[in-house]
Structure 1
């Protein structure tokens, strides 16, 4: 009876048809502006707009936009390392799991194939006239000695680098540098890890918008003032973004509610069927935390293939902030070839003390370059990634829900306020257009 009376009141309203458009329009507009907000979270990768020095808004370099995640890739990746990756284990542990003994064999075999060309390159760059005129018999003695000593030297060098990897590589800085140099990688990581949550936020926003639209329709019935249309559209814009993001990450810990179950889901139409009444439990938990086991596989794959890779570790070791320490460690091993009687005598007599000392530095530079060539080999990196994939996956699964949410939460949390404000602004503009195009013509 009450419902019938209420419906008659709505039908008799002078702007009945305009009022009926509020729920679907609110749902559609909410769906669109949440889609826009999510796109603005990740795109564009590079700033697009007019650059203005000392531009004071949103940390942007001018009037325009750059996705929040690529713009703050360094900061966000630092948070992920501090709050999540650092809890999975040490770089020393990961590097040992890559089986450095096998790596040493691979590097030795690759370098050994080009060892004579490498020696020629070093000597011709340092003393072209001398090396060009040196009898082949003397060159041959150096080649033979280098081939003989290389396996043992490389094995001891890689072993030494393994034991000192924590001193030579800052894992946090390595990952931050990688993310800042390839901001698309950061975006792809979040999209792979959180695509289902992003789709959920987008689609649930339409349902939330529809509910808010029904509420707004009744508000307009009670308060038939046109200003309520854009005003409440702005409020729904704020609330929709906030509620959708909140539902992805909350509750953090699972909560179980008992209820009487009388229907169960089916795979085909009509998708539900009656069942014997029984007590069941409903699990309330943020959508992202529910997928911890599934996400662990995806995130572990990203980490071992793009972040904590053999190439990245060695690149940071050889060229990063602590490269000087790496050079000193390499000297203690590579100079063994120069100090062997055969090579030392030949080169000292040919070069003299001063040029012989300068030659040592040249050898280190060329050796680093030669060593990095096999370390960039895709097959080697893929085989090392397979060694540590299971380690990462299992440890991500063991994270507490609060620790686990930090894989995705920083992307939204970094500028969550901006996204919510954008929702309110776009809601207001859409409400104003709705008022002008639908309500005013119906007056």
Structure 2
């Protein structure tokens, strides 16, 4: 038997294509690893289109995620974020009463300046000649009413936020306005899965290389080298992407265990143990990390997407801003329509100018309200109030719902990555053929 094996080895050693055949496995592994790396990079980069246009036809490339930021974010919102809760629930968790107090302090500090600026813009001569005693009474009346009015306003905005803000539109606009945020979000949430795809591809390449080596002994036709390389390229990308999300549910498998990993994965990484039966969970790499991903994803959502700033900006300046202005106007009018203020200003300005003054005051009130809302520290304090809620609800998502946090980035355009694997595999196979076999 040993002599027979030795004879086969000598026959193989004397083949003219010996080095070409021996190179199949390492070349297939390396090429697979390299083109998967390239495909993964092309999912996210470049963030902006790189290339040129021939008329209306673009010739170049833009990462799939930044190119389709609006569509992908819309799908994620529909499939996952909308299931985590409503905007009304999020705003309520941010403590509206405390928000009203903080916003009220900001407006109250600037209230007299606000009234002065609006009046001087509307009718500077008249306002300069209004007796100081009357001005003080107007200021005092506004200061007196402001706290209750603001609490009522914030409460009403919270109760009606679903009618004032379209969460899907808000998130899509945010992502389209900052495509780097979309890329950063996917890389932060899915970096381990991206590394998994990249690293497992080399192992898959080794397996395919061994298969191709066997095929070469049966069908030693040169033209098959690039053909098989293209097939392996297609299959590698498909298998690698599939393994990230599938199987969706855990499938525990018992196996004999002779080694275990060292603590903190330190060198030598594994150590021998007394033989025993171990259990390995066969499940998609992303699906295994639901607890870990819930923490990372909740942090990104509460700090970047569903924040007090983004909600209020959409509410005040978004597509439904007219509804918001009507609510703000009704509450501001409680100050403007008190007998002292209304009588003084109507007699001084006239009915038309008085109506315009109220409009100006609403605009300026919105501007001042957005100052504390845009403060990073204020937003961070609100984010902490809903972070725990988000994290727990992501952990409670069903496997299908959880998969939709990341899957939309690949699913619709993953055929491009698969085809790209085939094309790069074919080109690498041609190079390999000319270098090693011809």
Residue equivalent to 2:372? 374
Question: Which among 326, 329, 352 is matched to residue 328 of structure 1?
Answer: 326
Where 1:257 maps in the other structure, the secondary structure is strand
Residue equivalent to 2:152? 156
Tell me whether 1:74 sits opposite 2:76 in the alignment.
Answer: no
**Aligned 8 A contact 1:130 1:350 in 2:** yes
Count of residues in Structure 1 that have an aligned counterpart in Structure 2: 434
Residue equivalent to 1:88? 84
Residue equivalent to 2:53? 51
Residue equivalent to 2:162? 166
Cα displacement (A) at 1:7: 3.4
| Cα separation, 2, equivalents of 1:143 and 1:112 | 10
Question: Which among 109, 124, 146 is matched to residue 120 of structure 2?
Answer: 124
Cα displacement (A) at 1:5: 5.3
**Aligned 8 A contact 1:248 1:287 in 2:** yes
Cα displacement (A) at 1:273: 4.1
Q: Compared with structure 1, are the counterparts of its residues 6 and 165 closer, same or farther at alpha carbon in structure 2 (3 Å cutoff)?
A: farther
| Cα separation, 1, equivalents of 2:345 and 2:124 | 13
| Cα separation, 2, equivalents of 1:291 and 1:80 | 18
Which moves more between the two structures, 418-427 or 212-221? 212-221
Tell me whether 1:436 sits opposite 2:434 in the alignment.
Answer: yes
1:374-400 CA distances to partner (integer Å, 9 max, x unpaired)? 110111100000000000000000111
Question: Which among 199, 202, 209 is matched to residue 206 of structure 1?
Answer: 202
Cα displacement (A) at 1:168: 0.8
Residue equivalent to 1:293? 291
Which moves more between the two structures, 35-44 or 259-268? 259-268
Cα displacement (A) at 1:262: 3.8
Which moves more between the two structures, 337-346 or 194-203? 337-346
Cα displacement (A) at 1:140: 2.0
Cα displacement (A) at 1:3: 5.5
Where 1:387 maps in the other structure, the secondary structure is helix
| Cα separation, 2, equivalents of 1:387 and 1:342 | 41
In the TM superposition, 1:321-400 aligns within 5 A as: 321-400=319-398
In the TM superposition, 1:245-284 aligns within 5 A as: 245-267=241-263, 268-284=266-282
Q: Compared with structure 1, are the counterparts of its residues 5 and 71 closer, same or farther at alpha carbon in structure 2 (3 Å cutoff)?
A: farther
Residue equivalent to 2:406? 408
| Cα separation, 1, equivalents of 2:254 and 2:106 | 63
| Cα separation, 2, equivalents of 1:373 and 1:5 | 84
Tell me whether 1:424 sits opposite 2:384 in the alignment.
Answer: no
1:235-258 CA distances to partner (integer Å, 9 max, x unpaired)? 111011111111111100111222
Q: TM-score, normalised by structure 1?
A: 0.95
**Aligned 8 A contact 1:253 1:402 in 2:** no
Q: Compared with structure 1, are the counterparts of its residues 4 and 313 closer, same or farther at alpha carbon in structure 2 (3 Å cutoff)?
A: farther
Gaps of 5+ in 1: 56-61
Q: TM-score, normalised by structure 2?
A: 0.96
Residue equivalent to 1:140? 136
1:239-291 CA distances to partner (integer Å, 9 max, x unpaired)? 11111111111100111222333433333555444444444322110010111
Where 2:347 maps in the other structure, the secondary structure is helix
Where 2:397 maps in the other structure, the secondary structure is coil
Residue equivalent to 1:244? 240
Which moves more between the two structures, 359-368 or 384-393? 359-368
RMSD over equivalenced CA pairs, Å: 1.5
1:44-101 CA distances to partner (integer Å, 9 max, x unpaired)? 111111124443xxxxxx0000000000001101111111111111111111000010
Where 1:283 maps in the other structure, the secondary structure is strand
Residue equivalent to 1:317? 315
